[in-house]
Amino acid sequence: MARYILGRVLSLLLVLFIVSVVTFFLMHQVPGGPFDETKAPLPPAAKENILRKYGLDKPIHIQYLNYMKNAVLHFDFGIPYQQPTTTVTALIAKSWKVTAQVGLMTVLLAFGAGIALGVYAAYHQNSWLDNVTTFIAMLGITVPSFVIAMWLILFFAVRLKWLPMGGWNASGTCLIGSAYICTDWIMPVLAYALGPLAIIARYTRSSVVDVMRQDFTRTARAKGLATKTIMLRHILRNALIPMVTALGVIIPNLLTGSIFIEAVFRINGLGKFFVTSIFNRDYPMIMALFLLIAFLWSLTYLFTDILYTWIDPRVRLGAEGGA
């Protein structure tokens, strides 16, 4: 086990290295730079000074090594060109909370509602709710989140005027009872969660149906256990094992999906910075965000693989194609 984890961590580091090299060299391929003279002509001495200040006058591999040294040792990813008064680390530190909030609520909704719907659909096959679930699943899997988001806006914000058009923690009615709930959370989380919710509901339904047909379920029923006990202790426990695989698919997609949700609902999180950084050719910011995403992405894969073997002892580690 330890050996397997070590191997996976090493390959994670290799991947991160390759991603960082590719990103770094690609970034420097970009036509034009942050100090384009078409926007503001500079005297040669001033330009030279600026280039020296940001280390842009050195050969590219030295620039890369400098960058990685600062990034790994000092957690210093440079200064964002779009906001030169702060650092990249500070900017990310400021905006990741919003993105994490959106993501966390989405995961909670997707797993909660997805598992509930899937179990219900499995127990009441071909009922109307089962058919509705199948339909929602189809919609959630095939239709992009920004399309769903647009429909929600058109219906709930434009037509009915029930919900705010966008924002996060910004709309006035933030207090309902004693709980801190914002009305502007509803649409982003709903639009964001529908895809994963659909996948989870589908997985859950088929694996619950599968486990319901197993011998041990029949035995449990035959010895007279309550339906609820059978569902919780026998069926759900086994049916949820494949959910770990779903987790491995969903979490990485959530990382990138946030870009779209934040764009539609004008949420000032990492996703928004991602887009503005690309428009502004903000190398340090793009670099840091790409590394962050690659890191989280590989970490999720590692984590779900380990979780899977921990939950299901039948899976053998290390074997080719076995895990």
Q: Is 197 in the site for another protein (CB under 8 A)?
A: no
Minimal CA–CA distance to 129: which of 111, 117, 145, 142? 117
Residue from 26, 65, 72, 175 touching another protein (CB under 8 A): that is 26
Q: Is 31 in the site for another protein (CB under 8 A)?
A: yes
Q: Is 54 in the site for another protein (CB under 8 A)?
A: no
Candidate segments 75-83, 92-100, 145-153, 174-182, binder of another protein by CB under 8 A: 145-153
| Residue 121, number of CB atoms within 10 A of its CB | 25
Q: Is 263 in the site for another protein (CB under 8 A)?
A: yes
Contact 15, 290 (CB under 8 A): no
- What DSSP string runs through 250-315? HHHHHHHHHHHHHHHHT--SHHHHHHHHHHTT-HHHHHHHHHHHHHHHHHHHHHHHHHHHHH-TTS
Residue from 117, 200, 294, 304 touching another protein (CB under 8 A): that is 294
Residue from 21, 62, 65, 154 touching another protein (CB under 8 A): that is 154
Residue 3 token pair: 């050996």
| Crossing angle (nearest 10°) for helices 283-311 and 270-279 | 140
Smallest separation, CB 56 to another protein (Å): 17
Smallest separation, CB 255 to another protein (Å): 7
> Residues near 242 by Cβ (< 8 Å), separated by ≥ 6?
203, 207
Q: Which is nearer to another protein, 12 or 174 (CB)?
A: 12
CA dist 13 and 150 (Å) reads: 39
Q: Which is nearer to another protein, 240 or 274 (CB)?
A: 274
C-alpha distances out from residue 230 to 241, 243, 303, Å: 16, 19, 29
Contact 186, 162 (CB under 8 A): no
Residue from 255, 270, 285, 288 touching another protein (CB under 8 A): that is 255
Site string (266-285) toward another protein, x via CB under 8 A: --------xx--xx-x----
Name residue 180's beta-bridge partners: 175
Smallest separation, CB 194 to another protein (Å): 12
Smallest separation, CB 119 to another protein (Å): 23
Which residues contact another protein (rule: CB under 8 A)?
11-12, 14-15, 18-19, 23, 26-27, 29-31, 138-139, 141-144, 146-147, 150-151, 153-154, 158-159, 165, 252-253, 255-256, 259-260, 263-264, 274-275, 278-279, 281, 286, 290, 293-294, 297-298, 301
